[in-house]
Amino acid sequence: MPFTSWDFLLYFLPLTVVAFHLIPSHCQILRKLLLVVASMIFYAWFSFECAALLLVSMGFNYLLAEWVGRKASKHGHWPLAIAGICANLILLFHFKYSNMFKESLGNLFGASFEIAPIVLPLAISFYTFTQIGYVIDVAKNPGMRCGFVDYCLFVVFFPHLIAGPVVRHSEIVPQFADRELKPDWGCLATGTAIFLVGLYKKTLLADPVGVHADWVFNHIAKGDGLTWFSAWIGSIAYGLQIYFDFSGYSDMAIGLAIMFAIRFPINFDSPYKALSISDFWKRWHMSLTRFFRDYLYIPLGGNRSGFRLHARNILLVFLISGLWHGAGWTFVAWGALHGLYLVTHLSWTNMTRCLGWRPSGRVWSAFAWCLTMAAVMFAWVFFRSPDMASALRMSKAMLGVDGIAIPHRWAAMVSEFPLASGIVSGVQMPNPAMGWFWLSMHLAGLIAIVVILPNSRQLFFNQREIENQIESHLPLMNRLGMRHGLVAGILLTGFLYTRFSAVPSPFIYFNF
């Protein structure tokens, strides 16, 4: 059940929280079992068949890690660990990518393969990567093994199960043992407040702007042409939709975990405030970026082998990252674009270092921000488009290949600028329900929220704790008391009750 559904908000979450708090704190194993059972019910709500696959995957990987850990003393454990990791990847490939490659081979060789419909198990990418990380960590340090109940809770804990963050054993399991899952009223109030901030972002910011993004992308999917202006508006609308959608989900996941006295690592840190593409990836989906860095980029050699191999490693990591996000060549193209962006940024950084040039100042920062956001928004076209043909048509429009056309009512104002004369033209375009002017104002308001307002971690945690979290990934301590959390919760609950749709849209990252 989605976090935004009434079933979750009115039944599952309150019952789970109440049952958890009714169990005495010294009955630690009962609290863990309750959370494991509740998490499996939460997942099985989507599909019983997928829940069975998740149980098989957990059993296999737990036994694999135990076997690897026991063989570590004999120094013959890595072949076994690699074989187990390959088995996980083969399972992921079968469910997520087999039809994609069958279709691609058929198109390439002019053959037709029978493509049976395969139901993609929900969150298979997330729980597969979580368990692969555990197996690798145990192979490196057998002392990290844990009991079966702790392992199950580590994998299926419902706040992170569906769309992350991609947590690591060393961050979560020690909290089960050391802190004995002892939440207080401050945890409950603060967790509720953070959860409701995420719910607000999803329902009142992401979903409404998503309607405008869908209008533009559905228009291009039908084969209709788009102007330069409408293409950029659609891309920016989707960029804001996925920003608030994923930011909202991350807040909700962190808030839910705090309700049960569990601290998750920070997963989202205002990526649209980044002044470079490198900074963007230090802020966007931080747990996944860290996973690829630790388990793929560094083993490949990282930045230790010269520029050419460094660039190769970056491109390979982002191609795989793109493929991880979805079974389609549009996702591969999205990953390749970001890989090229980062290689270009690396070249630029090396050149400025050699020249001894350190660009700075407000003008340079504004230019760097605009360039970074333009690159990110352009790449979102491939992430969102249903197929490569639609993505190419829209990217062509964004590049102004067929001219830079804007709504004809605005053309007279723009033509007063000498540089725009003869380049920008006014045309009659299909009008969205809100109208181009109010839609532009809507997007400008959301951009202002993104750039000016503090993010959730800045609202709820003090600077010292933020710095500690970045440097050592230690659990954050909240700074809101019970009264602050309850007041914020009551106000937001009343506001959402008057505006909340009974049929919420799913989170975008639920598809991965």
Count of helices and strands (H, E) across the chain:
25, 2
Residues in the chain: 512
C-alpha 381/C-alpha 385 separation (Å) is 6
Q: What DSSP element (H or E) covers 180?
A: none
pLDDT digits (tens, 9 = 90+) for 143-168: 888 889 999 999 999 999 888 788 88
Closest among 273, 294, 278, 271 to 347, alpha carbons compared? 278
Q: ∠ CA(496), CA(498), CA(503), 5° rounding? A: 70
C-alpha 314/C-alpha 336 separation (Å) is 10
User: Beta 424-427 vs 404-407: how paired, if at all?
Assistant: parallel
Q: What residues are labeled active site?
A: 325
C-alpha 193/C-alpha 256 separation (Å) is 10
Closest among 140, 136, 144, 123 to 53, alpha carbons compared? 123
pLDDT digits (tens, 9 = 90+) for 2-29: 888 888 888 899 999 999 888 887 788 8
Q: At what angle do helices 228-259 and 388-398 cross, to 10 degrees?
A: 120
- pLDDT for position 116: 65
> Where would I find the beta strands (DSSP E) of 260-356?
none
The position carrying tokens 């990380």 is 133
| More confident: 74 or 210 | 210
Residue 67: both structure tokens together: 């076997």
pLDDT over threshold 60, residue 171 = yes
Strand, helix or coil at 345? helix
pLDDT digits (tens, 9 = 90+) for 71-88: 876 666 888 889 999 999
Question: What's the average model confidence in pLDDT over 394-403?
Answer: 86
C-alpha 288/C-alpha 166 separation (Å) is 6
- pLDDT for position 429: 58
Query: With bands split at pLDDT 50, 70 and 90, how would you rate the model's confidence at 318?
Result: very high
Q: What is the mean pLDDT of the chain?
A: 82
Collect all residues with Cβ–Cβ distance below 8 Å to 53 and sequence separation of at least 6. Answer: 121, 124
C-alpha 198/C-alpha 3 separation (Å) is 10
Residue 396: both structure tokens together: 């062509």
Question: What's the average model confidence in pLDDT over 442-466?
Answer: 79
Q: At what angle do helices 228-259 and 207-221 cross, to 10 degrees?
A: 140
C-alpha 327/C-alpha 396 separation (Å) is 23
Query: With bands split at pLDDT 50, 70 and 90, how would you rate the model's confidence at 433?
Result: low
Residue 216: both structure tokens together: 């533009």
C-alpha 154/C-alpha 148 separation (Å) is 10
Locate the domains of the chain by residue range.
273-391
pLDDT over threshold 90, residue 274 = yes
